[in-house]
Structure 1
Amino acid sequence: KETDRRPGDVLAEIHALVDEGVQEITLLGQNVNTYGVEFGDRLAFGKLLRACGTIDGLERVRFTSPHPAAFTDDVIAAMAETPNVMPSLHMPLQSGSDAVLRAMRRSYRSERYLGIIERVRAAMPHAAITTDIIVGFPGETEADFAETLRVVEASRFAAAFTFQYSIRPGTPAATMPDQVPKRVVQERYERLVELVGDVAWAENKRLVGTPVEVLFAAGEGRKDAATARVSGRARDNRLVHVAVGEGAERPRPGDIGTVEISYAAPHHLVADGGITGLRRTRGGDAWDARHTPQKKLIGLGLPKRVAAPAG
């Protein structure tokens, strides 16, 4: 059973985190679009997003995961109209085939899914959309798989988490007829991964020459030390590796700056032209405070007052 926390409790927790230097939060739910049903407000999630927009110091808000069957236009409007709600959306597809979605007992179909994406992009043209896809569900035919490829191309995903179906004992799918042979699943999986990479790369190439805002973070770039770059996430959650010129101010994790994209790869962007408008933030200050060595005070003891002997 899903249980909804009250908006006031959620917002109080966010305020407490921001007071500690947190700048980005992710609202998490099994299905965030049904948030509020338990306390009688079906528009509660959109209202919660808008309330996050009033919190001073909260730079970025994301959420996961919405369900295509319950995604509503008031949430799209809240995303588009609330500046600190990011233009990124992770919405599981699972399959582009209506027959497979029916077999999975999913309550949406591919055209509804594509309709949501169309409305999201109408409100936020530069939104980055990511998804989850399963290949080889029992009964999946080559025609079904072709439908998945069609939806991937139409959706222009920035990235996709792709999985091969495998039998899990105790699940309804484990005993379904028409289990797809492993070699067929593997072959389809490889074709899907290749297409997802091509689509993501094409989407990333659109950004070359454009400015993007980056929130810098520790641990995002494994090769930063070797390449003399720093890394972070764009507003749409794309990974960006940024060159810092010799003598230029180096951003701290938590700081925010604008860069121009000079190169695009399938899974990341590169900005070699330096950073403009670097903004030192409370998040950066908090990172400094956690990583600056603290002076240790060494007590030498306190003088003791000794009473003189009687006599």
Structure 2
Amino acid sequence: MKSFYVKTFGCQMNENDSERIVTILRRQGMTPAASEEIADVVVFNTCTIRENADNRFFGQVNKLRERRAVDPGMRIVVAGCLAQGEQAAIFERAPHVDVVVGTHALGSIAQLLERSDGERHVIDVTEASDGLDPLADLVAEPTDGHKAWVTIQTGCDNNCAFCIVPQVRGGEVSRPFQAVVDEVRSLASQGVTEVTLLGQNVNSYGRDLTRRMRREEIESGDRGFLTGQVYVSDSIPRIRPLFADLLRAVGAVDGIRRVRFTSPHPKDMREETFQAMAESPMVCESLHFPLQSGSDRILAAMHRGYRGERFFEKLQLAREIIPDLAVTTDIIVGFPGETEDDFEATLELVARCEFDSAFTFIYSPRPGTEAGEWRDRFIAPEVIAERFERLKLVTERSAAAKHHARVGRIEEVLVDGPSKRDATVASGRTRQNKLVHVAGLDGDRYRGEYVNARIFDAGAHFLHGELLARD
């Protein structure tokens, strides 16, 4: 039997897609290899959200050039977002690649590998069918044991000027409501206790399904499967998102102790979602809320659909409704045309928001995006670097304050395994998604278990705890 190795770049959606690839290849009788150096088939599941992701991929795939030249049985597969959007560039820059498979064609990866035995440069970058998810029935088998990703929606209908996702993932397509719940129930039966619901804009999950209910004749027996019983029982069904309904339904699945989700879009975040988070005990007190910029002028140029003050009002509402909520965010530095005043507005709003942590990014122009064409507005690299450091000081100050406020508290920690730096320390996450290092706990032995730890020290990015008792 052939062996395979899957290397993943990018977001959680790619992680889930990689799990699907692993599931397909296992079902073909292939076995996982310990590394790409010894695998018969190496799959690179790529990201193209930023230029450095492209460069990292090409740097790593080109390391296999010599091995591919002397091993005619080896196959190199490139999948994911870069494959969907830049297939010609892949074969130009890495001609030793055998197969390119796009985001909508992962289900055909085994067939493409078979074709590569007699065909050079096999490719499938099929576009998504309107309103249909070709991967809807391709459910990944859990690989972590106690945690799993669950895709609830693919694609995006927004037009953020900096983002290439709609081009490589297509428009929004929601999976049927009951199909998601059934997958979570199946995962729970296999020992999974924490699930993370994935979508490019989870807030809008189900809006297309309710639109379909209004537009098409759906058999009465299929309506609940498509949109859930809560929507079907509405006295006046209207076109609306179903995400709050889904959170409650997933949180009610026996065996599930934690429900997370990513990523929402602030313009579509509704109070009903905050209420569902507060009222569903299994939904974690953790919210990723991407700001991107604090300048109203830049937010308008980005086509984000909200102003800074409106973002802050929604954030405050979330904190009022959900006790002990931890909030993280994304911020782009150096968006085309960003002035010093725009950046100062970002610093001011970020300081007001007091995020638990922030993922800060230097703007990366992407071919095919609107902002990528605004080269006359690009910001000098030295200016961006200086702003980046100033922003880092603000975000780390609030992160450290939030973490130090948790010292002395008892936290429930789901153990993920040993610490990467110290095998005598176990690492895990709280309900707020805080990383906790628990001294004196065997991370391998207690992987997947919930323990109580008293927090005795904190940094900007992690907490230190001592074990109190096992649940």
Residue in 2 aligned with 1:268? 462
Contact 1:68 1:112 in 2 (8 A): no
Greater helix proportion:
2
Residue 35 (str. 1) matches residue 35 (str. 2): no
Residue in 2 aligned with 1:256? 450
Cα displacement string for residues 99-151 of structure 1 (whole angstroms, at most 9, x for unaligned residues):
00111111111111111110111012311111111001111111110111112
List aligned pairs for 1:108-257, cutoff 5 A: 108-176=306-374, 177-218=376-417, 221-225=419-423, 228-244=424-440, 252-257=446-451
Moved more, 37-46 or 11-20: 37-46
CA gap of 1:52–1:170, structure 2 versus 1, over 3 A, is: closer
Cα displacement string for residues 236-282 of structure 1 (whole angstroms, at most 9, x for unaligned residues):
0000001237xx9996111111111100100000013x222x12xxx
- Structure-2 separation of matches of 1:215 and 1:138: 41
Residue in 2 aligned with 1:82? 280
Cα displacement string for residues 198-233 of structure 1 (whole angstroms, at most 9, x for unaligned residues):
1100110100011111011125x21231xx221100
Contact 1:135 1:162 in 2 (8 A): yes
Aligned residue for 1:38, secondary structure, equals helix
AA at the equivalent of 2:186? A
Aligned residue for 1:218, secondary structure, equals strand
Give how far 1:15 is off: 0.7
Aligned residue for 1:208, secondary structure, equals coil
Aligned residue for 2:358, secondary structure, equals strand
Moved more, 83-92 or 150-159: 150-159
CA gap of 1:55–1:98, structure 2 versus 1, over 3 A, is: same
- 5+ long unaligned stretches in structure 2: 1-170, 211-238
Give how far 1:16 is off: 0.7
List aligned pairs for 1:7-46, cutoff 5 A: 7-40=177-210, 42-46=240-244
Aligned residue for 1:69, secondary structure, equals helix
- Structure-1 separation of matches of 2:175 and 2:304: 26
Cα displacement string for residues 8-50 of structure 1 (whole angstroms, at most 9, x for unaligned residues):
0000000111111111111111111111111225241101111
AA at the equivalent of 1:275? L
CA gap of 1:76–1:249, structure 2 versus 1, over 3 A, is: closer
- Structure-2 separation of matches of 1:26 and 1:260: 26
Residue in 1 aligned with 2:91? none
Aligned residue for 2:287, secondary structure, equals strand
Moved more, 56-65 or 189-198: 189-198
Contact 2:416 2:443 in 1 (8 A): no
Contact 1:61 1:85 in 2 (8 A): yes
- Structure-2 separation of matches of 1:10 and 1:249: 31
- 5+ long unaligned stretches in structure 1: 280-311
Contact 1:212 1:260 in 2 (8 A): yes
Contact 1:128 1:158 in 2 (8 A): yes
- Structure-2 separation of matches of 1:178 and 1:36: 38
Contact 2:294 2:342 in 1 (8 A): yes
| Greater relative contact order (CA < 8 Å, ≥ 6 in sequence) | 1
Aligned residue for 1:262, secondary structure, equals strand
CA gap of 1:39–1:167, structure 2 versus 1, over 3 A, is: closer
Residue in 2 aligned with 1:307? none
AA at the equivalent of 1:179? F
Out of 221, 229, 251, the residue aligned to residue 53 of structure 1 is: 251
Cα displacement string for residues 140-188 of structure 1 (whole angstroms, at most 9, x for unaligned residues):
1111101111121111111111111133344322332332111101100
AA at the equivalent of 1:208? V
Residue 2 (str. 1) matches residue 172 (str. 2): yes
Contact 1:92 1:133 in 2 (8 A): yes
- Structure-2 separation of matches of 1:165 and 1:54: 40
TM-score in terms of structure 1 length: 0.84
- Structure-2 separation of matches of 1:171 and 1:42: 29
- Structure-2 separation of matches of 1:149 and 1:29: 28
Pairwise CA RMSD of aligned residues? 1.7
AA at the equivalent of 1:127? L
Moved more, 178-187 or 70-79: 178-187
* Structure of greater Rg: 1
List aligned pairs for 1:290-305, cutoff 5 A: none
Residue in 2 aligned with 1:296? none
Residue in 2 aligned with 1:295? none
- Structure-2 separation of matches of 1:75 and 1:168: 32
- Structure-2 separation of matches of 1:93 and 1:62: 19
